[in-house]
Amino acid sequence: MLKKETAPSESEWQIMEVFWSAGTSLTSSEVILRLKEYTDMTPRMVRVLDEPPVPEKAPELRD
């Protein structure tokens, strides 16, 4: 089965740019502070976009 390709949203790009420009690990709070300078993104939105994805459930093995 082919997976559908998706592109990051504008908000996701902004968050990634903050991480890339920092050159080091950042907490969600640090990302929020940096984004406040040029966006109206809410802290909740940053935390949701910053969370690691939930892994898909492994398919059951069949005999």
pLDDT of residue 21: 92
Residue-by-residue pLDDT tens, the chain, 63 positions: 566 777 778 888 888 899 899 988 888 889 889 988 888 888 887 777 656 656 666 556 555
Q: Are 15 and 50 in contact (CB under 8 A)?
A: yes
Instruction: Say how far apart CA 35 and CA 39 lie, in whole Å.
Output: 6
Global pTM reads: 0.61
